[in-house]
Structure 1
Amino acid sequence: MEVPKASDVLANELRERILDGEFPEGTALPPERELVSQTQMSRTTVREALRILEVQGLVRIKTGRAGGAFVQRPGRDSVATSVSLLIRGQQIRLAALLETREAIEPFCARLAARHRTDADLDRLDAANKDIADPDGSLASFLQANVDWHVAVATASHNELLTGLMTALSQAIYTATENEDFVDAEVRRTTVRAHKSITEAIRAQDPDAAVRRMGRHVHAYAEAVLQVDDRTEIEVPDA
């Protein structure tokens, strides 16, 4: 019979209290000495439990006289980090990443057309400008491409989809940054597709946005897989 570590038990209890709203975002958890007194656990155990919560993104630890463990709510960055770890840890195939994007991103475009703001359009336009730069390097083109796809997801105003798309876009960038299929014609095609999708989002036309995004990500996936027969992502050294 496996007995859980005391630090895991305490971390689980504090996590539930945070998620249940007992400790609002920005407030401090009880000081270490108070938790030691309340739980009758050692200071080392309490510190380990707080460290678990910090790794999970539920608290941030501040040192000094005004320090402590301050509650923060998980956001899209937490989702993106967890999905990125899954992708790299399981060595997810590039084909599977592209399939997932084909399944998710057209719906992101539909939501973006419904919910976009002026600030969202500014982000899309800025990324499109960088993508269309004729003097831009391959690295800058690919990064601008990531920025645009994440901007579409952000414009959906769905935090879960945004987190997923952030992780997927970055993983696809990592897996394709050294490929030679991105020639001048691919760049021109990407510029046209992105502008067309952006205009559908700007016009708040969800049907056009989902249709154009579906065509775009499918064509991109086919272009990538025609020149890439790997079965796993090559994970760069940290």
Structure 2
Amino acid sequence: MQVPKASDVLADDLRERILRGEFREGTALPPERELVTQTQMSRTTVREALRILEVQGLVRIKTGRSGGAFVQVPGEESVASSVSLMIRGRQIRLAALLETREAIEPACARLAARYRTDADLARLAHADEAIAAEEGSLTDFLRANVDWHVAVAVASHNELLTGFISALSEAIYTSTDNRGFVDAEVRRVTAQAHQSITEAIRGRDADAAFRRMTRHVHEYVQAVLEVEERTAIDVPGS
């Protein structure tokens, strides 16, 4: 039977206390010396437990006279980081990434139409403008495309969906043979589709946003899979 390390036990205890709200975001955990006294564990063990929490994104370690371990609450960045690591570590197939995107992005668009703010609309409009810029480079276009999809997720005001879409969009962007796939016609159609979805979101037409995003991502999936049949497309990290 495997016995857990003392540092893991302490990290588990502190993690549960943080997640239960015993330590509010931005506040400091008890100093190392106090934790050593409370737990009767060595300073090395306490420091290792704090490093575990730091890696998990639950504390931020500051050094110096005013330093210590300060509590932070995981956000969509943590979700995106975890999903990205899974995609790379498990070598998830491009087809699976596209299937996941096709399953959840229409829901993001529907929620965005319900909950979008003026700031969300400004972010979408900025991305639409960059996508439609004819003089922009392929890199500029692709980055604006990722920004737009993430902006739709942000407008949903659902942290889990935002984290998933952030990771998926980056992974699909990285793993697609964009130079062999994206031409002037693709850019024109993409810009048109995005603007149509943005208008549905602006008008708070949730059903139209859902339908238009469903059609857009499905057509993109079909086009990418056709390219995949002709070219070798690496999954991120492969």
TM-score scaled by length of structure 1: 0.97
CA distance, structure 2, for counterparts of residue 235 and residue 137 of structure 1: 25
Give yes or no for contact 1:108–1:152 (8 Å, CA) kept in 2.
yes
Unaligned runs of 5+ residues in structure 2 are: none
SS in 1 for 2:22: coil
Residue range with higher mean Cα deviation, 176-185 or 85-94: 176-185
Counterparts of 1:115 and 1:221, CA distance in 2: 27
1:27-38 correspondence runs (5 A): 27-38=27-38
Q: Which residue of the partner structure matches residue 192 of structure 1?
A: 192
Give me the whole-angstrom Cα distance separating, in 2, the residues matched to 1:166 and 1:198.
Answer: 18
1:122-160 alpha-carbon deviations (Å, 9 max, x no partner): 000000111111111111111100000000000000011
Please state if 1:24 is matched with 2:24. Answer: yes
Contact 2:175 2:233 in 1 (8 A): no
Is 2:64 the partner of 1:64?
yes
Question: Aligned residue for 2:101?
Answer: 101
More deviation, 169-178/8-17:
169-178
Partners of 2:27 and 2:179 in 1: CA distance: 47
**1: CA distance, partners of 2:25 / 2:72:** 5
2:131 is aligned to: 131
Q: Counterparts of 2:197 and 2:210 in 1: how far apart (Å)?
A: 8
Q: Is the 8 A contact 1:62 1:68 kept in 2?
A: yes
Q: Does the 8 A contact of 1:93 with 1:231 survive in 2?
A: no
Q: Does 1:158 align with 2:158?
A: yes
Aligned-pair identity in percent equals 75
Quick check: 2:32–2:47 contact (8 Å CA) kept in 1?
yes
Name the CA distance, whole Å, in 2 between partners of 1:198 and 1:18. 39
SS at match of 1:30: coil
Does the 8 Å CA contact 1:142/1:177 hold for their aligned counterparts? no
Amino acid at match of 1:46: V
Offset of 1:179 from its aligned partner? Answer: 3.8
Q: Runs (4+) of structure 1 moved beyond 4 Å?
A: none
Aligned position for 1:170: 170
- Give, in whole Å, the separation in 2 of the partners of 1:104 and 1:14: 34
- Give the gaps of 5 or more residues in structure 1: none
Q: Name the amino acid aligned to 2:27.
A: T
Distance 1:101 1:179 in 2: 21
Query: Could you give the per-residue CA deviations for residues 135-191 of structure 1, whole angstroms, max 9, x where no partner exists?
Result: 111111111000000000000000111110010001011112654110000000000
CA RMSD of aligned residues (A): 1.1
TM-score normalised to structure 2 length: 0.97
